[in-house]
Structure 1
């Protein structure tokens, strides 16, 4: 988590809040980091070539660096304007010295939380802000001691604010906990009404023990092995077309995958996700039912999909989707077997195409 551009200047910096806690826990560096530095805004603009000023509360700049995004509070920040409310967001970690700054004296609480397993979160007092609660509970073994306050919609917040909040929550090891806080607080209804509709769309109890479409979606996040943003976005929206779908020829949610791809494309564009990521996520959503039908599809429909570099992510999406239902994992194993046969056949074809039948 050492940032060479700031080390080489040199400019002092330290990670704050979520990123500092990840340092304490020894978690891998997330795709988004939050930090403060003694560098000024002009210095940051010189140090980092990919810098934007997104107009976010508390944070001054957003930097893209080596595949990560950095939210930075600079030496030019004006006091504590829009500072996070919960003291855990002021916990700091200096990667160079590996020292922690604990102004609220929360280290004993953190030690207790580290001893607990993820299914047994530690109740946390003063976790009243719904977004702060969702962020902490999605990434660490915490739970609000009381229900957070309702979300107060703020039209002045830019799309980047919501994009970063959603991204941090859905890539957390306890994403389901953060997502449910977002729903209960009214945040989803205000910011992502497409997802809030899923809580009013019932599933068949025979196939989905978890209940409605939203509960099923939240449950799928429990089965992610290594959460990444692409698969997490696909999971979040994979059934978002069901509230719009209509029954047809025995299918209760006919065409919901295609409808969900359109819903996701519109919502993710509104939140400011990149066009490339949107294209990949909507591809996964559109074809998320395909792994279960590989055996029955003709080669001309099946092979182009399996040839896609996204097919391993499609299998992961299918595994999480299947694991949260009554159907069991057999369909996933069958899809993996069929995919392995496809890869083996393709390798054989490439080898046979080489003169002499050997390796090129």
Structure 2
């Protein structure tokens, strides 16, 4: 659905609410994305209606926690996420009208960049708290407190990283201090928020920036403790002039945009077993780190509750990420089978990012692709278009 069509349909929905005595605003991240003209797959709304009215006005209204309701409308695959005004009572007469304090609604956002409201009935933005300047200047500042709940505090931390991964936003010192003070203790109840937060960072437009922030805050290593060993783990300077394994992992994301989640997780964990397989002799080497890394990644992702198929996909990438070695060692029949695999093209994308995150030998990359193109027609053409 185009942005224009989405705005039109949201306007029709808001005017319907308005005719019935209610107001409807687009809020938080959706309002920011509309203002910045970014695509969105989820529309966050705030209405001063009660849930009884929502159930009559929309389809498939279901609770999804924290006073929010998921619903569907004529907006294609875009998900609606509605929050009801807590002061709206189900028995209130609609004919009495309703007053929505826009300052109160905007003030419930965690960050000032989420303090902008969009009124689809009038196709205009409201800025009751003066937050628009922070959006324009690229400053990430705290607004509302997440409260004492561990889930909300973790979600705010991950949301900050996701915002930085999506836009060139600079967290201000006060917010950084607050986020550093957060203690991330994983429980089963927090795992959905962790998975959603990691996915938002890794699949964003600037994943390296989001990962750097999570690393700076110490949050990433509390979510995946195995990543801590990558810092300071040496590599052969001829092949990895960029630095240790953690620096290399970050550099692999530098040119990545909007990666599929499985590929992004594979890239994050592709060298996870290097510290455990490190051998320092005349040179630095990591014998067997691909199969060992696939096994480690499986344990990590299952612990975090990712779906088995996604875990299998990530393990495929890690197990096969040393493409030059596979091209050199595998018999033709096995290379042909690998090239027919449905995840093969993403594996090639991972290999490209791996090369770009190290010495950047693109001549070697193209040489490997030419060898593989024998078994995968069109591979060179598609990769050249990247």
What is the TM-score normalised by the length of structure 2? 0.71
Residue correspondence of structure 1 range 240-259 to structure 2 within 5 A? 240-247=272-279, 252-259=285-292
CA distance in 2, matches of 1:23, 1:153: 32
Which residue number in structure 2 is paired with residue 103 of structure 1? 128
Alpha-carbon shift at residue 238 of structure 1 (Å): 1.0
CA RMSD of aligned residues (A): 3.9
Counterpart of 1:283?
Answer: 316
What pairs with 1:284-323 in structure 2 (closer than 5 Å)? 284-290=317-323, 293-323=326-356
Secondary structure at 2:84's aligned position in 1? coil
Equivalent residue for 1:158?
Answer: 190
The separation in 2 between residues aligned to 1:158 and 1:196, in whole angstroms, is 21
> Structure 1 residue 138 and structure 2 residue 165: aligned?
yes
Contact 1:159 1:270 in 2 (8 A): no
1:125 Cα deviation after fit = 4.5
For 1:159 and 1:44, locate their aligned partners in 2 and report how far apart those are by CA, in whole Å. 30
Does 2:52 align with 1:19?
A: no
Correspondent of 2:249 among 214, 217, 227: 217
Is 1:130–1:185's contact at 8 Å kept on the other side of the alignment? no
Does the CA contact (< 8 Å) of 1:13 and 1:35 recur in 2? no
Deviations 1:50-103 (A, max 9, x none): x674x5xx57457899997858343276898x9553222333446676533433
Aligned equivalents of 2:44, 2:196: Cα separation in 1? 15
Cα distance 1:268–1:61, how it changes in 2: closer, same or farther (>3 A)? farther
User: Post-superposition shift, 1:271?
Assistant: 2.5
> Is this contact kept in 1: 2:59–2:72, CA < 8 A?
no
Q: 2:207 is matched with which residue?
A: 175
**Residue 24 to residue 327, structure 1, CA distance change in 2 (3 Å):** same
C-alpha distance in structure 2 between counterparts of 1:218 and 1:152, whole Å: 23
CA offsets 1:294-313 (integer angstroms, 9 cap, x no match): 25532122111111011110
Deviation string, structure 1 residues 3-60 (Cα, Å, up to 9, x no partner): 9899789677655433332222222335xx36135476675798349x674x5xx574
Deviation digits for residues 283-334 of structure 1 (CA, Å, limit 9, x no counterpart)? 1121111256425532122111111011110111111110011141123212
Instruction: Write the distance in 2 (CA, Å) between the matches of 1:262 and 1:35.
Output: 39
**Alpha-carbon distance in structure 2 between the residues aligned to 1:59 and 1:237:** 36
Rg (Cα) greater in structure: 2
How do residues 343-354 of structure 1 correspond to structure 2 at under 5 angstroms?
A: 343-344=376-377
Q: Is the 8 A contact 1:60 1:77 kept in 2?
A: no
> How far apart, CA to CA, are the structure 2 residues paired with 1:109 and 1:224?
26
CA contact (8 A) 1:130 1:181 kept: no
Distance in 1 (CA, whole Å) between partners of 2:119 and 2:222 is: 37
Q: 1:325 to 1:83 in 2, by over 3 A?
A: same
Give the distance between the partners of 1:205 and 1:316, measured in 2 at CA.
23
Q: For residues 134-182 of structure 1, what are the alpha-carbon distances to aligned partners after superposition, in whole Å with 9 as ceiling and x for unaligned?
A: 1221110112232443132255652111111111111122211111111
One of 368, 376, 381 as aligned partner of 1:335: 368
Q: Which ranges in structure 1 are unaligned for 5 or more consecutive residues?
A: 114-121, 346-360
Q: 1:85 aligned to 2:110?
A: yes
Conservation of the 8 A alpha-carbon contact between 1:292 and 1:331: no
Task: Give the secondary-structure state (helix, strand or coil) at the position aligned to 1:243.
Answer: helix
Asked if the contact 1:15/1:92 (under 8 Å) is kept, the reply is: yes
Q: Describe the shift of the 1:26–1:227 C-alpha distance in structure 2 as closer, same or farther (beyond 3 A).
A: farther
Change (3 A) 1:90 1:126: closer
SS at match of 2:183: coil
- In structure 2, relative to structure 1, the CA distance for the partners of 1:273 and 1:206 (3 Å cut) is same
